[in-house]
Amino acid sequence: MIELFYSNKTEQLLDALADQVKAQRETTHPLEPVELVVPNRNMETWVRLGLAQKLGVAANMNFKRLEQFIGDIVDISCPGEYKVAGLDIIEAAILSILLDEEALKSSDMQLVRRYLESASPAAGNMVASRPFQLQMTCY
């Protein structure tokens, strides 16, 4: 199951992730890897080191970058086909969803919608730029 956590404080996100990893390890086979999706190599390193510090060890973790994760989903959905979506197509698709008011009304998008609407109206351009900022963090 995919779970999304968001915060403007990375330490809080790391704490939530450490709690999730610990809970998963208590309920699954010890040799089953923990699957994590990260936007880039720097974040992977930071998460790996942070989890090692919080949990004592960061082993048997399978990190995937977002584009690889989506590519794997496409490969499963279209077996035998060549890659359908490149990073530019994925980026455009994410942005089109973030800018689609009807798509954001879906209950699945509640957390995303709450984040996009959380900027103070006094912030002016910040409200308008939030979808672009969020889209940029996705790859």
State the average pLDDT over residues 46-60.
Answer: 92
State the average pLDDT over residues 5-30.
Answer: 88
DSSP the chain: -------S-HHHHHHHHHHHHHHHHHHS-TTSPEEEEESSHHHHHHHHHHHHHHHS---SEEEEEHHHHHHHHHHHHSTTSPP---HHHHHHHHHHHHT-HHHHTSGGGHHHHHHHH-S-GGGTHHHHHHHHHHHHHT-
- What pLDDT was estimated at residue 72? 79
The domain 1-82 having CATH identifier 3.40.50.10930: the answer here is yes
Q: Over the stretch 88-127, which tens digit does the pLDDT of each residue have?
A: 777 788 888 888 889 888 888 888 888 887 766 655 555 5
- What pLDDT was estimated at residue 139? 47
Domain boundaries, the chain: 1-82, 86-139
pTM to 2 decimal places: 0.55
